[in-house]
Amino acid sequence: MPSPVSLNLNYVAPFVADHEWEQLCPAVSRAHHLLHARTGQGADFLGWMDVLEKGNQEEITRIEKTAARIREYADAFIVIGIGGSSLGAKAVISGLSHSFHSSLHMQKKNSPDVFFLGEHFGSDYTCELLEALEGKNVYVNVISKSGTTTEPAIAFRIVKTWMEHTYGKEEAKKRIIATTDREKGALKTMANAEGYETFVVPDDVGGRYSVLTPVGLLPIAAAGISIRDLIAGAEEARLDYTEERLNHNQAYQYAAFRYLMYQKGKQIEMLSVYEPKLADFGEWWKQLYGESEGKDGKGLFPASAVFTTDLHSMGQYIQEGRRHLFETVLFIGKSGNEIQIPRGDEDGLDFLTGEYLDAINKKAFQATLLAHTDGAVPNVILEMEQLDAFSMGALMYFFEKACAISGYLLGVNPFDQPGVESYKQNMYALLGKPGHEQRRIALEERLNEWR
């Protein structure tokens, strides 16, 4: 069967010569062997590559059973996590669910409203969410391997207190599900003590690669999306992208193109989508590439845009600003809904009467593609026939596989994130965490100099 994701390089020919592709083949082959022989940096975190192949059907069934219980009893489902513990699930849920699910009449819903918490310290957001939960049946999934990451840990303290006050301690326990380490950590200890149902964050899968593990699968299933279709799409992609040779592997071609653009001085990659439901997918993609490649003074800066909306804010810059970026355009061939343009000549657009909105979106994509490439902005295109769980699973695996190869081409470890700890240690010190006194004093002295 044809791949659900198709890479189109027709519009990059003016920017990359044939010999440049050929000269990169040996490096791509080396990266492939580092990855598949598990001899490269970060080899302890390659479980995402075969988690589908060795998939635990018993675990998938248990996830589906728990999700069915949540859908049956919950009006609202709170997912508490940050980074890889939330972005993947959010990308799939917003991409495949009704855009206005929370506003639908109850009779049209087959799943609870899903809300995300623990991604920041926003007081207004947190208080307003708790207010919105009043009178609703609420279930919670707290996701953290350690249980000590500050943002979700604080959010869970608040929500746990609210749940126990609202339902009583015993009933609250039945409504809280923890996705955490198999054996250790603060959240695992708490889950054991409280008797929460638990799912496991695999030891060999980093957060930003974890969407196809219980980390992402439980929230996605609770939202009423088929995780078996999602997994099947990812498995199809896994089989599609095992070929070592560059000219036979589109995920590797994407990785190679990114590397060539980087070598030519491009500093920014913009993921451009023409479907507003994919805005959160851009956030997942930004973490995947930003956290994987942004180290050792290297890496493209990942940005995202929703077209045509952002053409009316960023379009001028893309067209005629500094030539330091390129675009990866994600385009969906066919919408799940059809709507025709009605008659009405007051705006001078009556020539579009009877045309479908989806067809107009495609023309906008084509017009923008030609304008931006004419403006010396390289465009690589990823096309999917439709936006569904199968295609979404394939797309996510495509980007994960390409990211691993891209990181090795760049000469970095694509599976660690040492720089993330810097702000955490500073924050712990400024908050007065025991053992950080000297650091706190030094930081406060620096802050006083800037006041």
Q: pLDDT for 162-193, tens place per residue?
A: 999 999 999 999 999 999 999 999 999 999 99
How confident is the model at residue 134, as a pLDDT? 94
Q: Are residues 215 and 295 in the same domain?
A: no
Q: Catalytic residue at 424?
A: yes
Residue whose structure tokens are 């707290």: 142
Do 151 and 120 lie in a common domain? yes
Nearest Cα to 429, choosing from 446, 413, 412? 446
Active-site pick, 136, 184, 424, 444? 424
Q: Are residues 212 and 339 in the same domain?
A: no
The rounded distance, in Å, linking the Cα atoms of 71 and 112 is 6
Per-residue pLDDT, 53: 58
Whole-structure pTM value = 0.94
Whether residue 206 sits in one domain with residue 184: yes
Residues of the chain with pLDDT under 50: none
Do 319 and 345 belong to one domain? Answer: yes
**Residue 450 within any structural domain of the chain:** no
pLDDT at 63: 95
What is the total count of domains within the chain? 2
- Single out the catalytic residue among 119, 269, 291, 400: 291
- The Cα 31–Cα 420 span in angstroms is 25
Are both 206 and 236 inside the same structural domain? Answer: no
CATH code of the domain containing 191 = 3.40.50.10490
| pLDDT (0 to 100) of residue 354 | 87
Residue 449 falls inside a structural domain: no
pLDDT number for residue 216: 96
Amino acid 337: pLDDT:
87
> Which pLDDT belongs to residue 54?
53
- 146 φ, ψ to 5°? -95, -35
Do 380 and 294 lie in one domain? The reply is yes
Structural domain includes residue 447: no
Same domain, 186 and 115: yes
Task: Give the domain range for residue 110.
Answer: 47-228
Report yes or no: 205 and 45 within 8 Å, Cβ to Cβ. Answer: yes
Query: Which residues fall within 8 angstroms of residue 145, CB to CB, at 6 or more apart?
Result: 180, 181, 185, 187, 201, 207
Question: Is 276 in the same domain as 328?
Answer: yes
Question: Is the domain of 234 the same as that of 220?
Answer: no
Residue where a domain stops, chosen among 199, 228, 257: 228
